[in-house]
Amino acid sequence: MADNIVSVHNFDDLFADLITQCSGLDSNKVLISYSEKGQVSSSINDNVCYIHTEHVSDYVDQYKNRKEVFNVQSGKTVISQSSMRVLELRITFYGPQSDVLGVKVKEKLYLDSSKQFLYKNNLSLIPEKDTIMKTHELINDRWWDRVDVTLFFYNSVTIEEIVDVVVNPVINIVNDMEV
């Protein structure tokens, strides 16, 4: 096993795929919030979604689990250290169906197919932290429907180190003190 640390930026693409499946929106309507190329315009009547993932500080970051495994053939010990980090996923829906889409995505994350997807990607939903808020946003002198969904996930991280083991130590005891 090698280090298992995924860049937070990679989760945007991963979550975009999951939200596309859960919402039923076309993939060109599920967009990364801070895309390098900017964003395409949409109409007030288009249902669109913007997502952004961030690593947030949490007390669970401080807990580490370590495991040592000795490999007899190589004569080395592999030390693995695992911990959890917390990721915040911000999903912003615009459009006439924004409230329905927000609830639909939030609820579908609790289904077995979504849980399996998350598990395969070392993620676990933190249900007690999720929020959903409906609001409106003034864009070009028009009020757009907007729903913000915020979800939190545990993401397991593992690093490893391979160390040599002392095989045949030579121990010499020297008595410097003579009575």
Fill in the amino acid letter for 124.
S
Mean pLDDT on 52-74: 81
SS3 assignment, position 35: coil
**Nearest-angstrom CA–CA distance, 68 and 74:** 14
For residue 52, pLDDT beyond 90: yes
27-42 tens-digit pLDDT: 889 988 877 666 677 8
For residue 58, pLDDT beyond 60: yes
More confident residue, 165 or 54: 54
81-107 tens-digit pLDDT: 888 899 999 999 999 999 999 999 999
Q: What's the burial of 58, exposed, middle or buried (CB within 10 Å: 0-12/13-18/19+)?
A: middle
Query: Residue 55: which H helix or E strand, with range?
Result: strand 48-56
Which DSSP string corresponds to 59-91? GGGG--EEEEEEETTTTEEEEEEEEEEEEEEEE
Please report the pLDDT score of residue 154 as a whole number.
Answer: 92
Please report the pLDDT score of residue 126 as a whole number.
Answer: 92
For residue 160, pLDDT beyond 60: yes
